[in-house]
Amino acid sequence: MQVDTLIVGGGIAGLSTAWNLGQLGGERVLVLERESAFGTHASAQNASILKELGEDSLTSELERRSARFLRNPPAGFADGPLVEECGLYLIADASSEEAFDDVLSRADGVLHEILTASQVRERLGFYRRPVTRAAFFPRDGRVQVPRLLAAFAEGAREKGVHLQTNAEVSGLLREDGVVRGATLTDGTEIRAKTTVLASGAWAGALAEKVGSRLRFRPTRRHLLVSAPTATVDPGGSILWHIDGRFYVRPERGGWLACAGDQTDVDPDRLELDPAEPRRISSVAAEAVTGFPSGPPQDRWCGLRTFSSDGSFVIGADPDLPGLFWVAGLGGAGIGCGPELGRTAARLLLGRAVDEPWVRDLSPGRFLAATPRS
């Protein structure tokens, strides 16, 4: 089989790229996902938070652009709203004020309110730790991820993109130094002008086998949902500590909580560490008045995969013609995914991409410093 663009991976990276390719007139596009459904790994394991002001200016730019899409998608794109704008409180303590001021220095054009000390007491009274800075972002919120992924997949299909589940790529085809497609575990060979690696935690390993010098770090993070409690307002806002080590938001009548763990893992051996939900519960009980002390109603872990500088990797591989990356989405792939897919599609189709920050996404940024072996 011969296609123009073969996309390996059907999480948000692959589906957003596929949908955008379809919209821009890309032809003969095929998405392969090895699971029986799309979006079952990182794209299903996250906290679904859209936070317009990211940790750095690139992430903030991508989140803002994605937020515009998510709030106002094209007519008929999805069968309901894609974001629940519950609002987000960004908070800092004495040790993180500098980081807070840095993030807020990029807040021009983002609707927000700086809270006074008395507003902090009044509105965040349930949070027991010291807060020296706080801002409220009323338009941040929770992304309806399954709806978004279904809309990307359906919209791509309508534009002629082929999407296949239960199709696992076992290796990339490399001939004369050029990547010319992939082989599936059932032996099928698919030849492609461009092969896009959007396979999340597994992208790095597939490419390493054909000589890529790019390296990725799959890491594990845990989340839990506490037992339901009357102290949670189901329509309440997200509370996010700027140091990234704690956030909570309402979920299923309880609190969804994260205590910011990050451990390197082999993605094929992802297992929940039972000590981690206990740690999250104890951190949350200390921080949040009335946080239920009993067993959580749910707990899980998921994969956040980072490039070697921690940022996204979108673009053609400079060593391996025919290979293109949409990888390293880390901990912001849901909030940034729509714009990352749009950027990837424009680059794949050779469209003019004038935004200067696109250079910061390029895989070429790593290779100057990495000797060939």
Ligand X SMILES: Cc1cc2nc3c(=O)[nH]c(=O)nc-3n(C[C@H](O)[C@H](O)[C@H](O)COP(=O)(O)OP(=O)(O)OC[C@H]3O[C@@H](n4cnc5c(N)ncnc54)[C@H](O)[C@@H]3O)c2cc1C
Chain residues binding ligand X by CB under 6 A are 8-14, 32-35, 39-43, 45-49, 168-169, 198-202, 206, 221, 223, 302-304, 329-335
Residue among 4 and 35 whose Cβ is closer to ligand X? 35
Residue the block writes with tokens 């910011």: 260
Q: Give the tokens for residue 184.
A: 């599936």
In whole angstroms, how close is the CB of 41 to ligand X at the nearest point?
Answer: 3
**Pick 22 or 267: Cβ nearer ligand X:** 267
Six token digits for residue 343: 């950027």
Give whichever of 14 and 87 is closer to ligand X, judged by the CB atom.
14
Closest separation in Å from C-beta 239 to ligand X: 13
Inter-residue contact 344 to 17 (CB < 8 Å): yes
In angstroms, give the least distance from the CB of 116 to ligand X: 28
- In the complex with ligand X, the residue whose CB is nearer, 206 or 348, is 206
What is the nearest approach in angstroms of ligand X to the Cβ of residue 240?
9
**Which residue, among 140, 47, 46, 147, has the nearest Cα to 86 in the 3D structure?**
140
Least Å from the CB of residue 13 to ligand X: 3
Full DSSP string of 277-314: HHHHHHHHHHHBTT---S--SEEEEEEEEEETTSS-EE
In the complex, what is the shortest distance from the CB of residue 284 to ligand X, in angstroms, rounded to a whole number?
Answer: 15
The DSSP output letter for 269 is G
Instruction: Identify the bridge partners of residue 90 per DSSP, sorted by sequence position.
Output: 135, 240
- Beta strand 2-8 with 189-197 is parallel
| Closest C-alpha among 318, 366, 312, 305 to residue 344 | 312
Q: Which residue number, 12 or 210, has a Cβ lying nearer to ligand X?
A: 12
Q: Which is nearer to ligand X, 108 or 186 (CB)?
A: 186
160: its two tokens: 């002629």
133 forms beta bridges with 92
